[in-house]
């Protein structure tokens, strides 16, 4: 089995660049990148404030872009890299898009729906192919960015 740690860190660094963009424009710094067959097909960052859209989370925006790129609402053979554990809304979108693998950096203890508040593995009502999950990739960098953002708001 090939160790994907190096690739995971590479893609997460791209997601962190997206999160930095969010930080710079005053949005909560979450970034997302979607990779298919080792090629970036979409990337985005949180934009609910700028767009006046509560669904404009980084993951949802990246899913929308990727669906246009592949011309299909099902994103098979795709991996989503996101700097922070997805919320329930984003996790639902990820599952319905049929993302194969979710990789996230920092846990979100208050609203995380993958391992923190809700545990994906116990959501037996999800009848789609199991979503592979890897957590903690560059978690320190992802967490530090969130801490810096919220400290700057105080």
Catalytic residue among 27, 59, 79, 85: 59
Q: How far is CA 62 from the centre of its chain?
A: 8
Give the Cβ contact number of residue 56 at 10 Å: 18
88-111: burial string, b at 16+ Cβ within 10 Å, e else: eebbebbbebbbbbbbbbbbbeee
In sequence order, which residues have a C-beta less than 8 Å from that of residue 3 and are 6 or more positions away?
A: none
Is there a catalytic annotation at residue 59?
A: yes
Which residues are the active-site residues? 59
């Amino acid at each position: 089995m090939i160790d994907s740690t190096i690739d995971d860190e590479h893609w997460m660094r791209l997601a962190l660049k997206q999160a930095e963009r969010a930080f710079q424009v005053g949005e909560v710094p979450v970034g997302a990148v979607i990779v298919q067959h080792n090629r970036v097909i979409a990337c985005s960052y949180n934009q609910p404030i700028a767009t006046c859209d509560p669904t404009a989370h980084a993951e949802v925006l990246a899913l929308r872009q990727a669906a246009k790129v592949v011309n299909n609402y099902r994103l098979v053979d795709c991996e989503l890299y996101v700097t922070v554990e997805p919320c329930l809304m984003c996790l639902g979108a990820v599952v319905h898009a049929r993302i194969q693998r979710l990789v996230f950096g920092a846990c979100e203890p208050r609203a995380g729906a993958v391992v923190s508040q809700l545990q994906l593995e116990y959501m037996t009502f999800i009848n789609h192919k199991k979503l592979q999950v890897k957590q903690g990739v560059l978690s320190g960098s992802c967490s530090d960015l969130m801490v810096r953002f919220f400290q700057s708001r105080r």
